[in-house]
Amino acid sequence: MSTPVPEDVPAVEADGYPAPMFEPFHTDEDGFDTDVVIVGLGPAGGIAATALATYGVRVHAATVFPWVANGPRAHITNQRAVEVLRDLGLEDTARQQATPWDQMGDTLFTTSLTGEEIVRLQTWGTGDLRYGDYLKGSPCTMLDLPQPQMEPILLDAAASRGAVLSFNTEYLDHTQDADGVTVTFRDGRTGQVFTQRARYLLGFDGARSRIVEQLALPLEGELARAGTAYIRFKANLTQYVEHRPSILYWIFNSHAGFGEIGMGLLRAIRPWEEWIAGWGFDMAAGEPDLSDDKVIDQIRTLVGDPDLEPEILTKSLWYVNQQHATRYSEGRVFCGGDAVHRHPPSSGLGSNTSMQDAFNLAWKVAFAVKGYAGPGLLESYSDERAPVGKQIVARANQSRKDYAGLREWFDHDSEDPVTAGLTKLKAPTAEGEALRSRLYEALELKNTEFNAHGIELNQRYTSAAVLPDETLGEEEWPHHPELYLQATTRPGAKLPHAWLVGTDGRRISTLDVTGKGQMTLLTGIAGAAWKDAAAKLELPFLKTVVIGEPGATDPYGYWQQVRDIPEAGALIVRPDGYIAWRHNAEVWDIDEATTLLETALDAVLDRPEDRPPHDQQGRQQYSTRSVDITVPSHAPTATA
Ligand SMILES: Cc1cc2nc3c(=O)[nH]c(=O)nc-3n(C[C@H](O)[C@H](O)[C@H](O)COP(=O)(O)OP(=O)(O)OC[C@H]3O[C@@H](n4cnc5c(N)ncnc54)[C@H](O)[C@@H]3O)c2cc1C
């Protein structure tokens, strides 16, 4: 019901107002309206806008939507994505809104919520066998944070740190030249078309990316190879699930399973009152019947309660894609997120990977804008992230296929394959025993979807922004690389997490003393020559951390165990937490350390030959856009 207009408020004379104008951007003396335009404010665009604004870069980020994602979409937020949030000072805010890690719990396979349960898997690292691995691997736990809750956190941070955000703003086209990009938009409210001049354009515009299409980035794979219906509904299912908390309940039911996965799904959105019911449909038969009667019937079947009265919130169809771009950039335009890797939600890698694309790119763009780095650094983005995209597209699709083993006991000769199959599965016969043993094997395989710590954290970058350690051979993988994190200080790997102790006696992670938009030279107490070398170079983007000094002591000896270099050796850790270079030998001489450090930084950053002039204090003057980085300090006690 609309609110009545009070009688004493006169009607607005719309004709008396000037035509709407859209001029929020000011071209400054350098000829650019902004340094960076981002198209898209999903998880990728949101992280890019937040990071760039945090790093002091002028950024305008636009979305065609009036606001954030209008459906739950992504929710599993893995440790690496939470580490990104932590670096940007947003971990605690995200944690307050998320379903905590321990409640992500088991993944159940059952005939309905009231029916016979078949098997269960302890998932997302919460199980007895993997809990310690996950705790050891990161200062952050996983979270379950649906996209409509995640995105506002990013937008709030981006805008409050200086990013200009535009809603209802459709990207149309762009042209680029040697110096910049001219981007054309249409304001969805007025229809006005306007252009904007920027140094760089980031295409984070989702799976139907117009920018990827316009750039004709090379894509491999196929789209829409299977279809799924997703119905969001409200119903209090506490009585069925409270004693076995999980965010995913897979339902074996002859009336509710079809296609590759062959099972229905109940996914908790807000435990235990808001849910998604999902099931596959036959694309060859056209779009499925999603009438209220049909979907309520299906939900009742999945729950196993014929009297349930669910409140239907939204109905949608989505299609299983298996496609990735083999190159992510062209000149001054860089794409990321679903725009360049399109795959199903299985393994929960979509928004996590998209956020990491953005985090990989943001500091590189910031360093280029500020004059700290040359174009070679920007080119490393595609070299580093395209292999990750290819890997996760394959993994997510394989995870769907791997459900097949869990259904081998179905009796396909019967009218009701699940009920008839169940009789055989439980039979005290050799056939029953074989089926049960095969079922456990298939369940074990699902660890590659649900406890895939390696998939989440073991990325290795090979690019010009990573200098190989010539003292090393090929990396060996004694454990399953998809299941187990292999922490290492080899260049191209993520800096291992180790608990240190800060000046106030609280635990802080190695990840807390690095990052925050700066390169870090990491050494030990014996690395005095490195410390002096860094001081001599006086680079505004480089900080030095000496592990063992007050603020970063190593009383547990955890860093000592994982550093893999002598105390008088050194690492360069990039702002995104990846190791760019390591010197695996002791250095005691300042001149030697200075030459090694400067040579490494020049190569990693592709530093311009013509260095900026010096100011009166003898400091080099970089771009006028070089402003201090102000990341809100993180309270490292959250998981300590
Ligand atoms: C059902 C479902 C469940 C999922 N579950 C998970 C999960 O558990 N974990 C996980 O990590 N991932 C999951 N995902 C995947 C995740 O939602 C995506 O990977 C993620 O949203 C990609 O982020 P993005 O920023 O690249 O793109 P999107 O989130 O798609 O954002 C694209 C942005 O671009 C904007 N845009 C597009 N075109 C234009 C234009 N022309 N002009 C202006 N703006 C434009 C849009 O408005 C939007 O802001 C799931 C997806 C689905 C569908």
What is the average per-residue pLDDT within 6-25? 52
Residue range 22-99+145-219+329-373 in CATH 3.30.70.580: no
pLDDT band at 579 (very low <50, low <70, confident <90, very high): very high
pLDDT band at 16 (very low <50, low <70, confident <90, very high): low
Expressed in angstroms and rounded, the spacing between residue 332 Cα and the centre of ligand 1 is 23
Asked whether residue 3 carries a pLDDT value surpassing 60, the answer given is: no
What is the average per-residue pLDDT within 71-81? 91
- pLDDT value at residue 629: 39
Say if ligand 1 is within 6 A of residue 40 CB.
yes
Asked whether residue 614 carries a pLDDT value surpassing 80, the answer given is: no
Q: Atom of ligand 1 at shortest distance to CA of 45? A: 25
* 414 phi, psi to nearest 5 deg: -95, 160
- pLDDT value at residue 85: 98
Expressed in angstroms and rounded, the spacing between residue 505 Cα and the centre of ligand 1 is 41
Taking the C-alpha atoms of residue 372 and residue 608, their distance in angstroms, rounded to an integer, is 8
What is the average per-residue pLDDT within 133-156? 96
What is the average per-residue pLDDT within 76-105? 94
pTM of the model: 0.92
How is the chain split into domains, by residue range? 22-99+145-219+329-373, 404-445, 460-640
Share the mean pLDDT of the chain.
91
- pLDDT value at residue 270: 87
- pLDDT value at residue 618: 56
- By most ligand atoms within 8 Å of CB, the mutation choice from 50, 73, 104, 123 for ligand 1 is 73
- pLDDT value at residue 262: 85
Say if ligand 1 is within 6 A of residue 569 CB.
no
Percent of the chain with pLDDT over 70: 91
Is 622 in contact with 372 (CB distance < 8 Å)?
A: yes
Say if ligand 1 is within 6 A of residue 399 CB.
no
Expressed in angstroms and rounded, the spacing between residue 143 Cα and the centre of ligand 1 is 18
Taking the C-alpha atoms of residue 337 and residue 401, their distance in angstroms, rounded to an integer, is 23
Question: Is the sign of the CA dihedral 628, 629, 630, 633 positive or negative?
Answer: negative
Asked whether residue 25 carries a pLDDT value surpassing 50, the answer given is: yes
- By most ligand atoms within 8 Å of CB, the mutation choice from 205, 211, 246 for ligand 1 is 205
pLDDT band at 8 (very low <50, low <70, confident <90, very high): low
Expressed in angstroms and rounded, the spacing between residue 531 Cα and the centre of ligand 1 is 43
Say if ligand 1 is within 6 A of residue 318 CB.
yes
Q: How far are the Cα atoms of 38, 304, 344, 419, 457 from residue 111, in angstroms, in the given order? A: 46, 8, 24, 9, 34
Shortest CA distance to 248 belongs to which of 68, 403, 440, 478?
403
Asked whether residue 520 carries a pLDDT value surpassing 50, the answer given is: yes
Q: DSSP letter string over 83-126? A: HHHHHTT-HHHHHHHSBPHHHHBEEEEESSSSS-EEEEEE-TT-
The residue nearest atom 29 of ligand 1, judged by CA position, is: 42
R_g of the chain, CA atoms, integer Å: 27
**Which amino acid, residue 138?**
S
pLDDT band at 616 (very low <50, low <70, confident <90, very high): low
Asked whether residue 24 carries a pLDDT value surpassing 60, the answer given is: no
Percent of the chain with pLDDT over 90: 80
Say if ligand 1 is within 6 A of residue 143 CB.
no
Say if ligand 1 is within 6 A of residue 337 CB.
yes
Phi-psi region of 505 (alpha: psi -120 to 50; beta: other; left: phi over 0): left
Expressed in angstroms and rounded, the spacing between residue 147 Cα and the centre of ligand 1 is 9
Shortest CA distance to 313 belongs to which of 270, 265, 343?
270
Question: 460-640, which class in CATH?
Answer: alpha beta
Asked whether residue 480 carries a pLDDT value surpassing 70, the answer given is: yes
The residue nearest atom 19 of ligand 1, judged by CA position, is: 350
What is the average per-residue pLDDT within 287-305? 95
Asked whether residue 159 carries a pLDDT value surpassing 50, the answer given is: yes
* 315 phi, psi to nearest 5 deg: -130, 135
Across 325-362, b (16+ Cβ under 10 Å) vs e yields: beebbbebbbbbbbbbbbbbbbbbbbbbbbbbbbbbbb
Asked whether residue 310 carries a pLDDT value surpassing 60, the answer given is: yes
pLDDT band at 206 (very low <50, low <70, confident <90, very high): very high
Taking the C-alpha atoms of residue 337 and residue 352, their distance in angstroms, rounded to an integer, is 9
Say if ligand 1 is within 6 A of residue 146 CB.
no
